Structures are given as structure tokens and as C-alpha cells.
């Protein structure tokens, strides 16, 4: 059965065909950071998306998250036993070959696989791509951990645009694109997206629908709940042939209060790190 949105105004979701629902107590308690030599456990990869950050991007949803925000629409990405494994070279080569502006790391929790993801981020940056990372941890906490964990520091240093903080269902964000709740912060860690502070009001949420040759319909991006209800309806037939069924699982970026943020309708300052 398709998971239904528990938010009342808009939803974040993505198809994850390879993830598994099982969970363990050990998964719930662990917050391990992976080694640079480890393969990456991935829930989904979407190239050429305009819904996962500025420009056209190569989006990677990682599998595994110990934060587990209440109201998260990615519970299928919590367990570390789901998804598929991919190597650093596989993801790096695919991202560079895509011709996209940059990569977006989300999930799941990217900083719980900081080792290999930091290498990917470094390599795509060297190839001219940008890096946007979503995390449920706050930037101060990550910086504190980075003093004793160079892998976290590597991923931070290779990130141009960071969105930090857990999703808080009681604080929905109606104004800014790409984020789910008002506590989540945009941090400009490099000059790459400096203009975003002024241009953010012109950015809009997008909904993308892809139909595979086998009829599988995948969806990612943001949309009003009413639109999602139509898309997720069991009798929805987007191409008029009754040959397609949406197999979508709701997903959201789990991204807590930071020190500042970009907001088009507030006086909060832009965080330039």
C-alpha cells in the first residue's frame, strides 16, 4: 500500500524501488560514520532533476538514518539494511557523465556515510560540479564532531550549500523551496551559490514525474497535498491507457535550528560560513 502524507499542506516524496521496510533496534541506536573505503548504501538516484536544489542536479538518496524525525516521510530510508550498494567510482562517474550542474545528497542521512560521500563530493567539485547536502544534524554539531572525525569534515568542506536540521512537523515552511520546516537552515559554505540569498524568492517548488518503459511511474519534488492525493490515487492513469501504476513511497529531506537561514520573507540573515 502507498504511504499517505501526514502533513496538511504539502508533501515531499520520491520512489524508492529497492528499499526494504524492516528495521532493527540496532539500526535505531546507531549513528555510525562510514569509512572512505566503504561502498555507499543508496535508496535512489535521480539524474537531471530540477526539483532537488538550484539548477539541474544529480540527486542521491542515501539509505540509513538514526535521527528518525517524527513525521518523516522516508521511514523506508531509516534502516541500514535497505537500498543497494554502490561504489564511490560508480556514483562519481555517473554524476560527472550526467552533465548536470551539481549533485544533491539527501536521504536518509548523508553524514552517517560521510566517508565515501566526502570523496564523491570532492571529486565532483574538482570536475566543476556543485554539491548540495541535506542533513538532520545542525551545522554546529557537525563542526564539533568534525574536530575528531575527518570524514565529517571532508564532506562539510566539499559542500557548497548545506541545509541542516531535523524535520519538525509542527513548523511547516510555506515560503522557501526545498525545505519542509521553518527551523531548517540554508548555509552557504562557499561562494558558489552566493546569489541564492537574493534569488531564493524566485525559486519555486517543482514536481517531476517519470514513466519508465515498464510502466513504473516515479515521482520526486514538492506538490500540494491535493495534487499528491490525485497522483497517489489507485485509479490514477496519467497516460490514458491504464497501463501505468504509481508505485511511490512518500519521502522527505530530513533536514534543526542552525545559526541563520535564507528566507525570502523574513529578516533572518544569510549564513555565510
> Which pLDDT belongs to residue 257?
28
| Cα 166–Cα 189–Cα 253 angle in degrees, nearest 5 | 25
pLDDT at 234: 53
Could you tell me the three cell numbers for 142?
557537525
pLDDT tens per residue, range 163-176: 999 988 888 887 88
Q: How many domains does the chain fold into?
A: 1
| Cα(205)–Cα(54) distance, integer angstroms | 11
Within a domain: residue 138? Answer: yes
Cα–Cα dist 19/251, whole Å: 12
The reply to whether 50 falls in a domain is yes
Residue 218 falls inside a structural domain: no
pLDDT of residue 226: 66
Residue 41 lies in a domain: yes
Please name the residue that has the C-alpha cell 534502516.
Answer: 79
Within a domain: 220 = no
Of 14, 59, 9, 13, residue with least CA distance to 171: 9
- CATH code for the domain of 102: 3.20.20
CA dist 161 → 28, 51, 133 (Å): 28, 15, 6
The predicted pLDDT at position 197 comes to 77
pLDDT given at position 22: 35
Q: Would 222 be classed as within a structural domain?
A: no
Low-confidence spans in the chain with pLDDT less than 70: 1-37, 201, 222-228, 231-273
pLDDT tens digits along 90-128: 999 999 999 999 999 998 999 999 999 999 999 999 999
115 falls within a domain: yes
pLDDT score at 107: 86
The DSSP string of 185-221 is EEEE-SSTTTTHHHHGGG----EEEEE-TTSEEEEEE
Q: Which domain holds residue 162?
A: 10-204+250-272
Structural domain includes residue 145:
yes
Amino acid at each position: 500500500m502507498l504511504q499517505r502524507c501526514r502533513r496538511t499542506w504539502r508533501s515531499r516524496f520520491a520512489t524508492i524501488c529497492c528499499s526494504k521496510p524492516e528495521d532493527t533496534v540496532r539500526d535505531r541506536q546507531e549513528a555510525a560514520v562510514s569509512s572512505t573505503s566503504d561502498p555507499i548504501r543508496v535508496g535512489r538516484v535521480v539524474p537531471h532533476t530540477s526539483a532537488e536544489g538550484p539548477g539541474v542536479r544529480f540527486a542521491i538518496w542515501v539509505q540509513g538514518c538514526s535521527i528518525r524525525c517524527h513525521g518523516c516521510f522516508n521511514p523506508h530510508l531509516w534502516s541500514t539494511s535497505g537500498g543497494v550498494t554502490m561504489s564511490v567510482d560508480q556514483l562519481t562517474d555517473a554524476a560527472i557523465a550526467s552533465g548536470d550542474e551539481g549533485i544533491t545528497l539527501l536521504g536518509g542521512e548523508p553524514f552517517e556515510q560521510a566517508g565515501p560521500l566526502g570523496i564523491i563530493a570532492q571529486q565532483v567539485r574538482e570536475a566543476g560540479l556543485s554539491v548540495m547536502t541535506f542533513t538532520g544534524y545542525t551545522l554546529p554539531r557537525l563542526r564539533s564532531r568534525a574536530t575528531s572525525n575527518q570524514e565529517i569534515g571532508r564532506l562539510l568542506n566539499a559542500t557548497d550549500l548545506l541545509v541542516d536540521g531535523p524535520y519538525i512537523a509542527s513548523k511547516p515552511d510555506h515560503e522557501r523551496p526545498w525545505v519542509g520546516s521553518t527551523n531548517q537552515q540554508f548555509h552557504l559554505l562557499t561562494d558558489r551559490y552566493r546569489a541564492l540569498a537574493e534569488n531564493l524568492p524566485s525559486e519555486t517548488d517543482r514536481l517531476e514525474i517519470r514513466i519508465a518503459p515498464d510502466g513504473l511511474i516515479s515521482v520526486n519534488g514538492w506538490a500540494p497535498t491535493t495534487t499528491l492525493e490525485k497522483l497517489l490515487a489507485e485509479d490514477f492513469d496519467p497516460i490514458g491507457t491504464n497501463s501505468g501504476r504509481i508505485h511511490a513511497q512518500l519521502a522527505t529531506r530530513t533536514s534543526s535550528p542552525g545559526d541563520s537561514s535564507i528566507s525570502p520573507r523574513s529578516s533572518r540573515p544569510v549564513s555565510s560560513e
